[in-house]
Amino acid sequence: MRVPAIIAFLLAAFTGAAHSDPEEKAYDLVVIGGTPGGVACAVRAAREGLRVLLVNHTAHLGGMLTNGLGVWDTLYDGRRSPIYDELHQGILDFYRDTYGADSPQYQAALPGPRTESSPRGYFEPHVAELIVERLVAREPRITVLRNCDPVAVERADRLIHAVTLREFKGGQTLHVTASIYADATYEGDLMAEAKTPYRVGREARAEFDEPHAGVVFAEDVGNENALVKYPRDAVEGRLNLRGFRITTGRIFPGGTGEGDHAVQAYNFRICLTSDPANRILPERPANYRREDFLGKKTAATGGAPNGKGSWNEGKLPGQNQAYPNGDWATREAIAQRHLDYSLGWLYFVQNDESLPAELRERNRRFGLPKDEFADHGHVPYELYVREARRLVGRFVFTEHDALPAPGLGRAPIHDDSIAITEWPMDSHECTDRHGPKGGLDGKVLLTEETRPGQVPYRCLLAADLDNLLVPVCLSATHVGWGAIRLEPTWMHIGESAGFAAALAVKRHQTPSQLDSDVLLRTLAREHVMISFFNDVDLASNEPWIPAVEYFGTKGFFVDYNARMSEALKESTAKVWADGLAKLRKDEFDPSQLAFAVAAAETSGGREITAGQFATLLAPEERPPIDSPATISRGVALHRMFSKILRNSGDSEPSKGRPKPDDAK
């Protein structure tokens, strides 16, 4: 391609006058995928000084946040990572500033009562897109390339050396290079082009000893009203999460547990409105088949600002199995079938004479909004791809990583955790089969069993490539994936990946060479949640915040209660001090330490002073005069973390980087 064509190509996709020179083709980081995880990765890396190319296969950034999802899929109402927090707050600020703090629009965008499963933070697609675009446009180090996808990867000696991008419709190509590459697509397209191992479908139950793996039929319980019921620990106040109204009960006979290539069902999250002035009733689709909808009666939704809502129907389980490994022609055909089905469903319930006239009229209260997806027929640009390829990485996140660890009050501890999960392990049906005794094949929602888990950095690292990060289609089993596949979690992981890329570039390393403990210390200091606690608020500037997050990945806690204001007991202090010594020598096992802490905390013991605690540490830490005041758990942890930072050459813990002025 001639140079003028390259410039024209890039200028067509160029966003924001402050972005990099569009002729530039060499970057520090290339992020493929303008999903929320990709946006968080790119923005964080740019803020840390990297030159970033962000590539998206459509003209619209934001993935499902801007394609009709309409709600924050999270059970945690607090802060978790700065970019996610900033985007979430930006949407709230928009509704407050536009409509007022007492407006129904702003109230709908806020988290709802904890006694109800919803509302839990609604938003309109175009508002989410506006805030996403602002977030990216603020960063002069980000160049955005739209309507492109990767079609070739040059790799050798465990490194990706270059990627060829192709204009999605026109067919022109562009060759780009970078030190590091990130696959943030929903489909895992970059890692597939790089020919790194990945999985599609369900593992057999025996492979990882996962009770809900493979072909499974299970019972849904608790769906009779909107009141939260599960998990009981959340409902009864022992877990600082929002509850949910549904959980999976018994597993029905008939499930074999066999693995296959089935992925959970897709659909379009159609945005509907009840505002007559903004409503367009869908026309009969060209491929309409009336027999597909016999028995359907309603299609209603609501709750979002301005009379809108996200309609979560129109699934065609089993008809998406060719999508993950398909080319874009195959994928577009599958997407069109799903779109025709959704619009056909709406058309049927609004017009078919087999339904009572009163019901048809009720259904006609809802239509497509004129002010959403105006350049795309008022329907989302993207199919909701809940599951496609999954990396085979250096660690596999399984069902067990989001269940309580035996003998502990929390999920398994990972000493390279870079994010947390908090949504229940969740899979929509994978085929259209029903069990002989009940249940849809593959449909599970493990609300009662699931507990907040830790996502190891190793899940983002390919086994055979050293400069590739995969923050979206990361390494997990089909069941474990159910706790990860939510946009807040992906943004959280994506931002951590952005920090990892920046640290690796600054240290002249690849992401796989980067010491994960360097990354964890950075994340902790920047108030990125790498350990979940009931009683730790990342919005706080308490000096022990980074310490509790960091040591939560090292086995210093046996449950989700940090109790930082409580006085430190001698028995716990001894185990902590021993753990610190082993940690510094790289001789520790976080699970073994957690069991030692559990034993110490059940044995009681006296409270100790700061001087007495210091005598348990290295001699140079002992103060000349002891104070009679007891030392709190938070102060003790802060002192230990400061010691680690000094020994590693890091600075003192920060209080979290404030937002730039133009982000307020």
423-440 confidence digits (pLDDT tens): 999 999 999 999 999 999
For CA atoms 6, 7, 9, 15, the dihedral sign is positive
44 and 148, same domain (yes or no): yes
| CA-to-CA dists, residue 83 to 70, 379, 603, angstroms | 19, 28, 42
What is the pLDDT at residue 663? 34
The answer to whether 260 touches 216, Cβ cutoff 8 Å, is no
Where does the pLDDT of residue 617 fall: very low under 50, low under 70, confident under 90, or very high at 90 and above?
confident
Burial class of 97 by CB neighbour count within 10 A (0 to 12, 13 to 18, 19+): exposed
| Residue 420 to residue 335: CA distance in whole angstroms | 31
> In this structure, is residue 220 part of a structural domain?
no
284 and 325, same domain (yes or no): yes
- Which tokens is 484 given? 């990860």
| CA-to-CA dists, residue 178 to 9, 159, 161, 163, 269, angstroms | 19, 11, 7, 9, 35
| Residue 436 to residue 456: CA distance in whole angstroms | 39
Q: Return the higher-pLDDT residue of 20 and 437.
A: 437
pLDDT exceeds 80 at position 115: no
DSSP 363: H
> In this structure, is residue 226 part of a structural domain?
no
| Residue 350 to residue 344: CA distance in whole angstroms | 10
Q: Return the higher-pLDDT residue of 33 and 113.
A: 33
pLDDT exceeds 50 at position 656: no
Place of tokens 């597993």: 251
In 10 A of CB 285, how many CB atoms?
A: 17
641 and 570, same domain (yes or no): yes
Place of tokens 């549904």: 246
| Residue 456 to residue 400: CA distance in whole angstroms | 13
| Residue 370 to residue 376: CA distance in whole angstroms | 11
603 and 510, same domain (yes or no): no
Q: What is the mean pLDDT of residues 655-662?
A: 39
406 and 318, same domain (yes or no): no
621-632 confidence digits (pLDDT tens): 555 556 778 999
Where does the pLDDT of residue 651 fall: very low under 50, low under 70, confident under 90, or very high at 90 and above?
low
What is the pLDDT at residue 201? 98
What is the pLDDT at residue 112? 81
194 and 48, same domain (yes or no): yes
Please give the angle made by the CA atoms of 558, 559 and 563, to the nearest 5 degrees.
100
Tell me what percent of the chain is helix, strand and coil, each rounded to the nearest 5.
35, 20, 50
What domain range includes position 325? 270-369
What is the pLDDT at residue 116? 75
Residue among 267, 305, 303 nearest 126 (CA): 305
| Residue 451 to residue 453: CA distance in whole angstroms | 6
pLDDT exceeds 70 at position 8: no
Q: What is the mean pLDDT of residues 156-170?
A: 93
Where does the pLDDT of residue 647 fall: very low under 50, low under 70, confident under 90, or very high at 90 and above?
confident
306-326 confidence digits (pLDDT tens): 999 999 999 999 999 999 999
Non-local CB neighbours of 544 within 8 Å, separated by 6+ positions: 564, 634, 635, 637, 638, 641
> In this structure, is residue 252 part of a structural domain?
no
> In this structure, is residue 601 part of a structural domain?
yes
Where does the pLDDT of residue 24 fall: very low under 50, low under 70, confident under 90, or very high at 90 and above?
low
> In this structure, is residue 445 part of a structural domain?
no
In 10 A of CB 588, how many CB atoms?
A: 18
This prediction has a pTM of: 0.94
What is the pLDDT at residue 451? 98
> In this structure, is residue 65 part of a structural domain?
yes
| Residue 560 to residue 540: CA distance in whole angstroms | 18
Where does the pLDDT of residue 575 fall: very low under 50, low under 70, confident under 90, or very high at 90 and above?
very high
Q: What is the mean pLDDT of residues 288-297?
A: 95
Non-local CB neighbours of 421 within 8 Å, separated by 6+ positions: 402, 452, 453, 454, 455, 483, 484, 489
36 and 144, same domain (yes or no): yes
94 and 173, same domain (yes or no): yes
The CATH number that applies at residue 474 is: 3.50.50.60
What is the pLDDT at residue 273? 96
Residue among 495, 478, 467, 444 nearest 249 (CA): 444
Where does the pLDDT of residue 15 fall: very low under 50, low under 70, confident under 90, or very high at 90 and above?
very low
What is the pLDDT at residue 623? 52
What is the pLDDT at residue 118? 66
What is the pLDDT at residue 20? 40
144 and 96, same domain (yes or no): yes
Q: Return the higher-pLDDT residue of 74 and 12.
A: 74
What is the pLDDT at residue 3? 30
Amino acid identity, position 316: L
Q: Return the higher-pLDDT residue of 658 and 433.
A: 433
Q: What is the SS3 assignment for 479-492?
A: HHHCCCCCHHHHHH
Three-state DSSP state, 582: helix
Q: What is the mean pLDDT of residues 640-649?
A: 89
168 and 85, same domain (yes or no): yes
The answer to whether 83 touches 149, Cβ cutoff 8 Å, is no
The answer to whether 54 touches 143, Cβ cutoff 8 Å, is yes
472-506 confidence digits (pLDDT tens): 999 999 999 999 999 999 999 999 999 999 999 99
Burial class of 354 by CB neighbour count within 10 A (0 to 12, 13 to 18, 19+): exposed
40-64 confidence digits (pLDDT tens): 999 999 999 999 999 999 999 999 9
Where does the pLDDT of residue 584 fall: very low under 50, low under 70, confident under 90, or very high at 90 and above?
confident
Q: Return the higher-pLDDT residue of 647 and 459.
A: 459
Question: Would you say how long the chain is, in residues?
Answer: 664
Any bridge partners for residue 419, and if so which?
455
> In this structure, is residue 256 part of a structural domain?
no
| CA-to-CA dists, residue 416 to 114, 498, 555, 570, angstroms | 32, 16, 12, 28
**Residue where a domain stops, chosen among 532, 561, 595:** 532
Domain total for the chain?
3
185 and 95, same domain (yes or no): yes
The answer to whether 250 touches 207, Cβ cutoff 8 Å, is no
| Residue 430 to residue 437: CA distance in whole angstroms | 17
184-235 confidence digits (pLDDT tens): 999 999 999 999 999 999 999 999 999 999 999 999 999 888 789 999 999 9
> In this structure, is residue 222 part of a structural domain?
no
Task: List b or e across 147-159, with b for residues whose CB sees 16 or more CB atoms inside 10 angstroms.
Answer: bbbbeebebeeee
Non-local CB neighbours of 449 within 8 Å, separated by 6+ positions: 231, 403, 424, 425
**Residue where a domain stops, chosen among 369, 397, 424:** 369
349 and 471, same domain (yes or no): no
Kindly report the backbone phi and psi dihedral angles of residue 188, in degrees, each rounded to the nearest multiple of 5, phi listed first: 75, 35
Q: For all residues of the chain together, what is the average pLDDT?
A: 92
Three-state DSSP state, 246: coil
